[in-house]
């Protein structure tokens, strides 16, 4: 997953974490170097534990991991200097204004007082809390608290931003805004992002690399862009009228077809897999040539959902 010579963003080397007698992460081995990395898995898969291990909250029981080239066992402090972390749950100090809070977090990361104040204002404007930055955090709505958490995570200009369920509890407009911010930060090319989520859509929209965990093990790791290019495209349509000739014509174009239902004059369904390069408009053209009525046509690519479901079956 990492090009030769490049320093991976996250390098897991036989990483294992155990709480009591329960293995939470088991012998994880992978090297990730994407600009945005999605961490997926069902509840209890170990996503949050992996993140907490990377930022040094949890000590691994076996193996190790490297974040931006620093070993989590030997160099936890340099890692924390380079990382910005947005936790999943509410984390703030309710009696502080957003600007004081963000400034304090910047100072704790090593920024001088004046620089921290300036960056706090900038970060809050950037996430869209500029007008509310002097309000106490305790008076913020859930969406605003999420944005405040994002502001404190980026105030010191981290090289790796770790977002744990960034769209948790957000209404659709707030979610759209959060996704847009994540994309914007990705496009800035100034940081890597590690996004932990159980919402496939969020990861699909923002990430170029995906790591799927199940019961503490890696079940899938791939480059989403490559997957998208390689993945098959499916069409399912309902046609009214005789469609034998239509199916033969599709087969000649390289489609793999399966007919369900009536082949005669009635309504029938055809499921097909499109070969690379064939556009959907060709199907319409063939139907028009045969005067075949298309009552419904569903087109879909092999999405992250399929990848995820396949991974869950393993």
Q: Which residues are at the interface with another protein (CB under 8 A)?
A: 19-20, 52, 55-58, 77-78, 80-81, 83, 85, 87, 89-96, 100, 104-105, 107-112, 115, 118-119, 121-122, 125-126, 130, 152, 154, 156-157, 159, 184-185, 188, 190-191
Q: What's the min distance (Å) between Cβ of 225 and another protein? A: 23
Tokens 């996704």, residue located: 179
Q: What's the min distance (Å) between Cβ of 144 and another protein? A: 15
Residue closer to another protein (CB basis): 57 or 299 = 57
Task: Give the count of alpha carbons within 13 A of 178, CB side only.
Answer: 28
Q: What's the min distance (Å) between Cβ of 16 and another protein? A: 16
Q: What's the min distance (Å) between Cβ of 94 and another protein? A: 5
Structure tokens at 143: 């969406």
Sheet holding 62-67, edge to edge: 22-32, 10-19, 62-67, 70-71
What are the start-end ranges of the H helices in 85-242? 98-108, 113-127, 142-154, 172-187, 200-206, 224-230
Residue closer to another protein (CB basis): 124 or 200 = 124
Q: What's the min distance (Å) between Cβ of 83 and another protein? A: 7
Q: What's the min distance (Å) between Cβ of 122 and another protein? A: 5
Instruction: Judge contact between 284 and 312, C-beta under 8 A.
Output: no
Residue 138 DSSP symbol:
G
Name the nearest CA neighbour of 200 among 307, 46, 310.
Answer: 307
Sheet holding 256-261, edge to edge: 256-261, 267-274, 233-240, 293-301
Task: Report d(CA 287, CA 262) in Å as an integer.
Answer: 17
Per DSSP bridges, beta strands 160-164 and 192-196 are: parallel
CA 81, distance to chain mean position in Å, is 24
Q: What's the min distance (Å) between Cβ of 162 and another protein? A: 8
Residue closer to another protein (CB basis): 91 or 232 = 91
Residue closer to another protein (CB basis): 118 or 236 = 118
Residue closer to another protein (CB basis): 13 or 90 = 90
22 CB-near residues (< 8 Å, 6+ apart):
none
Q: What's the min distance (Å) between Cβ of 153 and another protein? A: 8
Tokens 């502080």, residue located: 96
Residue closer to another protein (CB basis): 160 or 311 = 160
């Amino acid at each position: 997953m990492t090009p030769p010579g490049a320093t991976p963003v996250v390098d897991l080397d036989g990483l294992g974490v155990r709480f009591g007698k329960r293995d939470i992460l088991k012998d994880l081995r992978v090297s990730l170097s994407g600009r945005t990395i999605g961490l997926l898995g069902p509840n209890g898969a170990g996503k949050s534990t992996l993140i907490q291990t990377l930022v040094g909250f949890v000590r691994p029981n076996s193996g190790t991991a490297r974040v931006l080239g620093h070993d989590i066992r030997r160099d936890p402090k340099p890692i924390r200097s380079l990382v910005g972390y947005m936790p999943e749950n509410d984390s703030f100090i309710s009696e502080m204004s957003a600007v004081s809070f963000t400034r304090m977090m910047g100072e704790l990361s090593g920024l001088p007082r004046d620089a921290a104040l300036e960056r706090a204002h900038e970060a809050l404007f950037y996430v869209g809390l500029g007008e509310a930055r002097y309000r106490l955090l305790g008076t913020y709505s859930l969406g605003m608290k999420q944005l405040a958490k994002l502001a404190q995570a980026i105030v010191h200009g981290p090289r790796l931003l770790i977002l744990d369920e960034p769209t948790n509890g957000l209404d659709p407009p707030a979610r759209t805004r959060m996704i847009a911010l994540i994309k914007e930060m990705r496009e800035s090319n100034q940081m890597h992002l590690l996004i932990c989520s159980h919402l496939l859509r969020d990861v699909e929209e923002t990430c170029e690399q995906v790591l799927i965990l199940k019961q503490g093990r890696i079940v899938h790791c791939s480059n989403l862009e490559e997957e998208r290019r390689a993945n098959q495209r499916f069409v399912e349509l309902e046609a009214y009228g005789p469609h034998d000739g239509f199916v033969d014509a599709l087969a000649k174009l390289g489609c793999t077809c399966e007919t369900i239902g009536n082949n005669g004059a009635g309504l029938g369904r055809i499921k097909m897999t499109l070969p690379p390069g064939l556009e959907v408009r060709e199907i319409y053209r063939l139907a028009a040539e045969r005067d075949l009525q298309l009552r419904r046509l569903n087109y879909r690519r092999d999405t992250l959902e399929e990848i995820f479901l396949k991974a869950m079956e393993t």
